[in-house]
Amino acid sequence: MVKKLFLYIFIYTLLVGCDTLILNNDCESECFLDVEAPNLQIDNNGYYHMEWLEGYTQTFSTLDANTGSNEIVKVMWDSDSGINYSGYWVSSVNPASYTDNGVAHTVLSAWEEQIGDTLTVYARYQDECGVEYLDSIKVVIDNEVQN
């Protein structure tokens, strides 16, 4: 129940445009956040495809969040998917990372039971002006990626 509540709050926040959250009119900032999966194939619909590696417990890939900020900022990550492991909910992404040269990285993990699923991964951060930026990508977990 708490996980669903957090996800609903996160998605609601995702729907609020960054222009509505400006706290200081004297502060100038570019509204910028671009999440991508540079090691995964992307299809014509903008969905990334991650191939499940047979014989492994999990399959991993890295995700990038380009903030366009020169400051070190904390980027929060979440996913609408994960697994129940030993009675605990485990998300498909690490929950937070910090930028280096404007880019934050996280790890996306998939489990065998997610083959055929489409995961949505969300990222957000707040800049020095108090503006919140949000972005998301969709990742399909394939048993075999088609070229």
**Structural domains present in the chain:** 2-20+30-142 (2.60.40.10)
d(CA 102, CA 34): 11
Q: Where are the alpha helices (DSSP H) in the chain?
A: 2-15
Residue 123 phi, psi (nearest 5):
-135, 145
Contact 118, 47 (CB under 8 A): yes
Q: According to the model, what pLDDT value does residue 21 have?
A: 41
Q: According to the model, what pLDDT value does residue 31 have?
A: 59
Q: What is the pLDDT along the chain (147 residues), one digit of tens a residue?
A: 545 544 544 544 444 334 334 444 577 776 589 999 999 999 999 999 999 999 999 999 999 999 988 889 999 999 999 999 999 999 999 999 999 999 999 999 999 999 999 999 999 999 888 889 999 999 999 997 666
d(CA 94, CA 118): 18
Instruction: Tell me, yes or no, if the pTM score tops 0.85.
Output: no
